[in-house]
Amino acid sequence: MRRRTFINLLGGALATWPLTARAQQSSNKVPVVGVLWHAGNEKEEAVYLRAFRAGLRDAGQVEGQSILLEQRFANEQYELFNSMAADLIARKVDILVAVSPPAAMAVKRTGTPIPVVFIIHPDPVGSKLVDSLAHPGGNITGL
């Protein structure tokens, strides 16, 4: 995926973060975005992480000031997504971003009410991640 496309898609998704979630934030609480990456570390995700951060900036979010990132890296060990998703939920992140299909399915299995944005999924309807593309239902949406 080209960097600019990734930035635009992700920035748009985060910009449309449900207004109710924003309204529930206290005036001094900085929202936390939990991210489930498939690679092993920030260096391996550098291209996409830079694009992700740029998308946040384009949406008016400044990491460390108006938004915080809690990232987890599965190192291609997809069975880790279950515990990583549970950990992010226990930390009470405000939104979850699932970068791969296994990450998105792991988050769905938790049953969390936290808003979830999935980035890449070839068949979210066929896999029963969402009800439909037009009306995903629940708290999970894609770009």
Q: Where are the domains of the chain?
A: 3-18+30-142
- Check: CB of residue 130 under 8 Å from CB of residue 136: yes
pLDDT digit string (tens) for 70-84?
A: 999 999 999 999 999
- CATH 3.40.50.2300 for domain 3-18+30-142, yes or no, is yes
Q: How far apart are the first and last CA of the chain?
A: 13
**Is the pLDDT confidence value at 130 over 60?**
yes
pLDDT digit string (tens) for 24-39?
A: 555 679 999 999 999 9
- Quick one: pLDDT at residue 124? 93
| Model confidence, pTM | 0.80
Locate 75 and state its tokens. 């190192």
Please tell me the distance from the alpha carbon of residue 120 to that of residue 1, in angstroms, as a whole number: 10
- Quick one: pLDDT at residue 85? 97
Could you tell me which residues come within 8 angstroms of residue 110 by beta carbon, excluding any fewer than 6 positions away? 82, 85, 86, 89
Name 118's bridge partners: 98, 142
